[in-house]
Each structure stands twice: as C-alpha cells, then as structure tokens.
Structure 1
C-alpha cells in the first residue's frame, strides 16, 4: 500500500491549526519522556476503546459513525495538546482506522506509538510490525513497544541475542521506529529485569500499571527513572478502579475532587511519571482529566487530605496491619496450592470492603484463570479441594496465616461469578 504523506493533506492541516497550537500552549503540560527526549503530554490518547471491533476487519466493514467518532476523538485530543496517539496491533481494527486519519495530520506534531507482541520467532515479530506500519499508513512510528513482557519466557523472547529487541533496534536503524520500549503486566522481578537489561541498548521507555489503588510497581518506576526511561502509566481510569463509574463511597472519600481527577493528580504529583493513558471512547472522555491541569503544580498538597481519608477508610475496614501487610509472606501463584493468586485476591477483597468496589473486584477476580499471561494465576473456586495441611504450609510465612483461608473463601463468595475475558479476547 502506498502511504499517504501530510504534504498531500494541506486543507486538513489548516483546519486544525486554528485551535491546536494556541490552546495547547495555554493549557497542556509536557514532560521529557526520559532518554527519548520527546516532549510528552501528560495525557496520552490510548487507542483501545474507540475502534469498531476487537477483531481485525477490513476498513470497508467499519461503520461510518464509528469512524467519525474515532476521528472526532483524535481531533479533540490534538486540540487539547494531547499529541501522543498510542495503539497496538492487538487492538482489533484500531490501527486500520487510525490509518485513515493519521496521514491527514501534521506528522511532525505527532508522537505515534504502536505495540507488537513478542514472538519466539523474531521474524514473525518483524512481519507483524511491518503490517502495523502499513495499517497505520505511516512511514515510521515514534515509539515501538514490545507488547506484554508479562513473564520471563516473554522477556527472554524479547531480549535474547537476535530476539525481538534486536529486531526492533534494526527497525530503528532503518528509520521505521524512533524509540523502543516495552509494555508489561508482569510481576515486579520481571519488570525490574526488563528495565535493567542493557543488551541491544536496553529499552527507552516502559508502559506499566501504577495508581492509587495499586502502588506495587513504584520500585520499577524508580529504577526506570535511574535508567532515564520514559514512564507511561497504563489505564489509570479503568484498571485504576473503573473510575468512569466510581462507587458512591469512593466519590465521597475523594470529594471535592472526582475520583478520576484525584487519581490523575496522585499519579502526576510524581515527576518520575511522564504520561497517563486515557483510553477515550468519545471526545468528551478527556474533559475530567483536562480539568486537573491547573491543579498539577500543587498536586501533592491538594490530594494529601484525600489520601489520608482513603488510607483511613482502608485501615478501618480491614485493620491497619492488614491494609499494609496483607501480601507479606504469601507465595507467588506458581508456588501456591491450586496456583491461586492469593495476594491479588486479598487486594481485591480489601478494595471491596474499604471502598465498596465490588464491581471492580468482580471484573478483576473473574479474569483470574481467563486472562492468560496478562493476569496470571487462578482464583479460589477450587479452594475446598486443597487440604488444610497443604494450604497452611504454603502460607506459613504470612503474618495472617490463620486467617488467609477464610479471607479467600470470603472473597470468592463476594466476587466469584461468571468467567470473564480480556477485551482483546472478547
């Protein structure tokens, strides 16, 4: 496919210019994206919510209204100075649909990212990247991420000599990808190993989870900062607590801020964090985040009383020790009887009890066993089949060893239900 160039789209460029530059300069905040040197807006336009389908499909089958909504969402992002457009090969029709609008925009103003899953055969990884570049209708992407380094097997496929990272660096040398990073849902040791990897130049940036309700990955962000990696936070509004539909309890505790605004300020109060992904489904989905911009400079003092209330609510609901030490001494899911993700389940129990986050808990709990390497381990549906002797041996190092079994049973009763799939499996 012949790729369009921005030079052939001057009317479209002119149509954007009147709002784009002025409003962006007046309101948007940019942070240097680590060693890439890119001036990254603190919000990124994530491409996993506005597309037609989670399965790849011909453009001819995309509904006109869906494409109009996608293009309106992109244009709204740019009007606000959100110049980072990120997507992935695995996001169904997202790349193809973006490939209609991206070539009509001033390319030098955009930061475009796509993500390609690692493969045992790096030639397949390269083929998939070339297909994505063709779908996007671009000559290069600014950011190429190896998508989903979620365990050590996938890390090895990525960083082994001649592996996917090596291919990505070759694509960079060819001018097809300007900076190379990775995205991850992995456990901490895997993330730290990936950030610290130095072969083939290592990685330039990382996409990972971190927000108020899940601060586990902070040591990884600190290490990324030490290595001068860009830091991109994945899904702070959805995975960060389904904040588009917050519980009444969470809304009350975050007042006078909306929970989305609170969570945004919580993340951006840390200068080590460079950008938050906003998986916008429609143009209006940016409104709440953008309202936080005037508060970012005073973010720490603004959120301090809210953090105190949230922390107190958790301590009152489950106890001060449990609130901070619930995961201590628990086995990883690979060593757990029944391959249960005990720490994940107890975390979801705590959120449900402290903030009434039952719907969120159900969504995450029922992915266990159905989320593949994106959400590893099983839930507690087979807990009764595990003997007390086997279970007690597994949790003997927990300060709450005598309670863990009852807590897991309680969690399953509260959150267990229909099995769920990740959006990309739907």
Structure 2
C-alpha cells in the first residue's frame, strides 16, 4: 500500500491502521472469541496478513482486555517488529510513575525494546485534565521515556476532537488520534484545520462509524446497503480527507484485511474533503462559483 507521512514525525504509515481493540473482546453473534486457542491463532493470522499486505500501522492499548491485546500483538512482534509502526497508550489520569510503569509493562507484553508512538489515552479533556497532562506528570514521563529511547513519538487520543486543540501548541505532542468519520465530522470545523497548521500527525478512530451508520441505515433506509456498501463509503470518506494520514479499522479475520486493502488499492479520491464546505453559506458560495 502507498504510505503517507505521519505529519512531522517522519514516519511512513499505511492509510489503513489495524486497531487492537477487537482482539480483546468476545462477539459471540459473529462467532468471534479471541480468548480461545483457535481465536488466538486467528489474531496472529490477521496481523500477519495485514503486515504482508502493507498495513504497517498497529494501534492498541493496555486498556483493551487488561493488556491482552498487547500480549497477542507481542506474540507476532517477536518476528515482525521491523515491519510495523507500533502504537499504544497510557491512561490520562496516571501520574509520572504510573506512566513510566505502564510503558514498561507494555514493552514486556509487546516483547520489544521500543514503541514507536505512545499516546495519552483519553476521551475528552477538561481544563483541569489538560493541566494535569501537561504539568502533572504524564507528559514529563513520556519525554523521559523518549529521551531513553523507549518510545519514539508522543501522541494523544480523544473522542471529542475540539478538546485536544490546546495540546497542538506543544511541539512534543506529534500524533493525534481523534473521532472523525462519515457521520461525526465535527473535527473538520476546528481540529483538523488547526492540526494542519502545525503539521500534526492525524489518525482517525471510529473510521467505520463503529457500525452505527450501517445499523441505523438498516432501519431507516435498508436499500442503501444494497446500492452501495456503507462500510466502503465510510472507509473512503476518511481517506478522501488529506489531513488524515491513517484510519484505524478493527479487523478480526484475514479476509477482512484483504477486503479493506482491495477497497483502497488503486483508488483515488474524486475530491479532497479538506476543501469541502461545512456551513450553509459556504455551500452556497461553492455552488454559485461553479
């Protein structure tokens, strides 16, 4: 797959990232149980299939299954570490020591001596939480770990993108993982504009809308899915925005890897959604200029 530069990190990443959350949770209606021996083997096969097909960005967290996702990924890292950009997280409420300990535990589970991107893991941030992260220990701990060569780059995650805008002023925080998808486009009105100004690395979470678009459309307009695969629409939406460098997708089976790779292979976005109007008056002006 054609790689993209992840903002100012200099890292080359695939436009699809494989998300590790799915490796920690059972979904029996779909026949998915990564806790079994057979399920564990499927996870290994999925990760190897992704790496073989050029998906080189793997993102997870110790929160997923209390370290289980990291452990499964680590079993593949024993032989494939050089093939990927590995990203994980530390919980935002931890203090300085807690962050140091968490990263060392992740290193053990991954069976590696370094993690390429270590992200502060949160949902949305109050002013007090921003202050804690910047001055209460987490950022200082990550800077120490970076200096020691244990991590390569520092990032942060947020469900609500506007709450990470204050962090853009801090050069040390280079990668931002935010919720941005076909039905949740708020980041386009503020965060993505500001992130582009400082050449921040941007990764989308909820890339496929966590299945919400597909589920709701099945009730309101079931014919949509028959006319056009809504998962394909969701994937291509994120990749049509030049400000997003990679989109995280939960893939459980090797065939899902193959399906997603094929959707983007050779595909060129018909428009850059970074240039699309987001307000009524902007739509009018764009239409009238044509």
- Mapping of 1:75-86 within 5 angstroms? 75-86=48-59
**Structure 2, gaps ≥5 residues long:** 28-33, 284-290
- Return the match for 1:236 from 200, 207, 232: 207
Provide the residue aligned with 1:64 in structure 2: 37
**Counterpart check, 1:114 vs 2:85:** no
Q: Name the CA distance, whole Å, in 2 between partners of 1:53 and 1:288.
A: 22
- Mapping of 1:196-235 within 5 angstroms? 196=169, 198=170, 201-218=171-188, 219-235=190-206
Q: Name the CA distance, whole Å, in 2 between partners of 1:52 and 1:263.
A: 23
Based on CA coordinates, which of the two structures has the bigger radius of gyration?
A: 1
- Mapping of 1:13-412 within 5 angstroms? 28-51=1-24, 62-92=35-65, 93-105=68-80, 107-148=81-122, 150-152=124-126, 153-160=128-135, 163-186=137-160, 188=162, 190-196=163-169, 198=170, 201-218=171-188, 219-239=190-210, 241=212, 243=214, 247=218, 252-253=223-224, 256-294=227-265, 296-300=267-271
Q: Name the CA distance, whole Å, in 2 between partners of 1:251 and 1:44.
A: 29
Q: Name the CA distance, whole Å, in 1 between partners of 2:182 and 2:118.
A: 27
Displacement of 1:175 in angstroms is 0.6
Q: Name the CA distance, whole Å, in 1 between partners of 2:201 and 2:83.
A: 19
Match of 1:296, SS state, is coil
Displacement of 1:251 in angstroms is 5.9
- Judging by fraction of residues, say which structure has more strand: 2
TM-superposition CA deviations, 1:44-69 (whole Å, max 9, x none): 01001123679xxxxxx952112101
Displacement of 1:248 in angstroms is 6.5
Q: Name the CA distance, whole Å, in 2 between partners of 1:96 and 1:132.
A: 8
Number of matched pairs: 268
Residues 51 and 83, structure 2, Cα contact 8 Å, conserved in 1: no
Displacement of 1:240 in angstroms is 6.0
Q: Name the CA distance, whole Å, in 1 between partners of 2:194 and 2:211.
A: 22
Displacement of 1:286 in angstroms is 2.4
Residues 211 and 240, structure 1, Cα contact 8 Å, conserved in 2: no
Q: Name the CA distance, whole Å, in 2 between partners of 1:115 and 1:33.
A: 17
Q: Name the CA distance, whole Å, in 2 between partners of 1:257 and 1:145.
A: 35
TM-score (norm 1): 0.58
Aligned alpha-carbon RMSD (Å): 2.9
**Structure 1, gaps ≥5 residues long:** 1-27, 55-60, 308-320, 325-426
Q: Name the CA distance, whole Å, in 1 between partners of 2:160 and 2:235.
A: 23
Q: Name the CA distance, whole Å, in 1 between partners of 2:35 and 2:268.
A: 42
TM-superposition CA deviations, 1:364-422 (whole Å, max 9, x none): xxxxxxxxxxxxxxxxxxxxxxxxxxxxxxxxxxxxxxxxxxxxxxxxxxxxxxxxxxx
Match of 1:270, SS state, is coil
Displacement of 1:157 in angstroms is 1.9
Q: Name the CA distance, whole Å, in 1 between partners of 2:269 and 2:244.
A: 16
Match of 1:112, SS state, is strand
Relative to 1, partners in 2 of residues 1:248 and 1:296: Cα closer, same or farther, differing over 3 Å? farther
Match of 1:82, SS state, is coil
Q: Name the CA distance, whole Å, in 1 between partners of 2:124 and 2:99.
A: 16
Residues 254 and 262, structure 1, Cα contact 8 Å, conserved in 2: no
Q: Name the CA distance, whole Å, in 2 between partners of 1:125 and 1:111.
A: 21
Q: Which has the higher contact order (CA 8 A, sep 6+)?
A: 2
Displacement of 1:269 in angstroms is 1.1
